[in-house]
Amino acid sequence: VALRRRQHSACCRELSVRGPRVRLGALSAATSAAWLAAYAVFALSENSMVLSAAIFITLLGLIIYLHFVKIDQESLLVIGSLGIQVTSSYASGKESTTFIEMGQVKDVVINEAIHMQKVIYYLCILLQDPEDPQGVSEVVPLFQSSKPRLDCLIEVYKSCQEILEQRKTAPQSS
Amino acid sequence: NSPAPLPERAIYGFALFLGSWFGFILYLIWAYIPETWLFSLGLTYWPQKYWAVALPVYLLVAVGIGYVLLFGINMMSTAPLNSTHTITDNYAKKQQQKKFQEEAIPALRDIPISEVNRMFFLPEK
């Protein structure tokens, strides 16, 4: 898990967290195991459709995994006075983006929560409640698949807070 | 509502003790004595003896499933990562702010998460 920071300007920063890449050894091991199991079933049942079905399922499963499941890199682009953009890029090259404008952002905090019998730290964006200035209407968790640890999160948190502080000192002009 | 012993509680306890012993002896009689002997006594309306074994088995399996079910219910009722329940709740939203008095310990309150984060992670210069 690697964190990379790029400062584009005084009020614009990009923080990207890169997860572990798809390893060739694990991929070939999984494929060989699936095909060996299919060959064992074929040896027992003498039905050649099992082999073609196994090949088809392995290919389909690999494509679905690379395109919908395996996230390579997640990045956070913070532009002061404009908004925050969250991008996830998948192993097949697909990128999915979400943009949250600065008026809706209350704060970016590190929250702790119980997740699958563990307590994890995760970074999240708190969205402002339109009726209640002190309230939080929604919580948007970030870096869900790479799940960086606390030291990495603290770096990202400090970077985001430096930019978010500027919108308090600079007068709002909208 | 104290758990101290009272005369009524002693009577309830003794009645339950007698009742449970009576129930147990009745269960043993029904399970072990052959049907013909019971019919000859004139007692013919009993449930099938199958249930003398089936009901305890059902009970034990239900207890085992209960463990798994409780674990699952716990996991289902933990708030997901994107819910506001991880940050605040109804009591914290409605809390009143007491005025700050000099030389006094500040009143107990729920500190908002932004403030807590600033205290932990941003070093004071």
Domain extent, residue B55, equals 47-85
Closest chain A C-alpha to B63 CA, distance in angstroms: 23
User: Which of A4-8, B25-29, B36-40 shows the lowest mean pLDDT across its residues?
Assistant: A4-8
Chain-chain contact of A139 with B83 (C-beta, under 8 angstroms): yes
DSSP state of A142: -
Report yes or no: B111 at the A interface, CB cutoff 8 Å. no
ipTM over 0.85: no
The model's pLDDT over A29-59, given as tens digits with 9 standing for 90+, comes to 989 998 898 889 888 888 888 888 889 999 9
Q: Is residue B60 part of a domain?
A: yes
Tell me: do B31 and B55 sit in the same domain. no
**Chain-chain contact of A111 with B113 (C-beta, under 8 angstroms):** yes
**Do both B40 and B17 map to the same domain?**
yes
Contacts of residue B78, defined as CB under 8 A and 6 or more positions apart, other chains included, come to A114, A115
Chain A interface includes B81 (CB < 8 A): yes
Annotate A38-65 with b (16+ C-beta within 10 A) or e (fewer): beeebeeeeeeebeeebeeebeeebeeb
Rounded CA separation A158/B80 (Å)? 25
Kindly list the residues from chain A whose CB atom is less than 8 angstroms away from the CB atom of residue B79.
113
**Residue B103 within a domain:** no
Position B23 in a domain? yes
B90 within a domain of the structure (yes/no): no
| Tens-digit pLDDT profile for residues A136-157 | 889 999 998 888 889 889 989 9
The partner residue sitting opposite A139, judged by closest CB among B75, B86, B117, is: B86
Q: How far is B62 from chain A (nearest CA, A)?
A: 24
Residues of A (107-166) whose Cβ lies below 8 Å from B: 107, 109-111, 113-116, 122, 124, 126, 134-141, 144, 154, 157-158, 161
Question: Bridge-partner residues for A107, per DSSP?
Answer: A126
**Residues β-bridged to residue A96:** A88
> Domain for residue B114, yes or no?
no
Interchain CB distance below 8 Å, B84 and A137: yes
- The answer, as to whether pTM is greater than 0.80, is no
Taking CB atoms within 8 Å and a gap of at least 24, the contacts of A145-151 are A145/A19, A145/A71, A145/A74, A145/A88, A146/A1, A146/A17, A146/A18, A146/A19, A146/A71, A146/A73, A146/A74, A147/A120, A147/A122, A148/A1, A148/A3, A148/A17, A149/A1, A149/A121, A150/A110, A150/A121
Contacts of B93 in chain A (CB under 8 A): 135
Contacts of A125 in chain B (CB under 8 A): none
The stretch B34-59 carries a mean pLDDT of: 85
Q: How confident is the model at residue A170 (pLDDT cuts 50, 70, 90)?
A: low
Q: Give CA angle at B83 (B78, B84), nearest 5°.
A: 110
> A120: distance to nearest CA of chain B, Å?
10
Q: Is pLDDT at A174 greater than 80 in this prediction?
A: no
Report yes or no on B27 lying in a domain: yes
Look at chain B and report how many structural domains it folds into: 2
What rounded mean pLDDT belongs to chain B? 88
Task: Please check whether residue B104 lies inside any domain of the structure.
Answer: no
Query: How confident is the model at residue A173, as a pLDDT?
Result: 52
Look over chain A and give the mean of its residue pLDDT values, rounded to a whole number: 87
Distance (Å, rounded) from C-alpha A25 to C-alpha A33?
12
B77-119: pLDDT as tens digits: 998 998 889 888 888 888 777 777 788 888 888 888 999 999 9
For B72, nearest residue in chain A (alpha carbons): A116
Do A156 and A76 contact (CB within 8 A), yes or no? yes
User: B39 and B51 share a domain?
Assistant: no
Between the CA of residue B54 and those of A90, B45, B49, what are the distances in Å?
Answer: 54, 19, 9
Contact between chains at A113 and B117 (C-beta distance less than 8 A): no
Q: What is the structure's pLDDT at A172?
A: 55
Q: Are B55 and B80 in a shared domain?
A: yes
Residue B110 lies in a domain: no
Section A71-88 average pLDDT: 91
Contact with chain A for residue B112, Cβ under 8 A: yes
Does the distance separating the beta carbons of A126 and B78 come in below 8 Å?
Answer: no
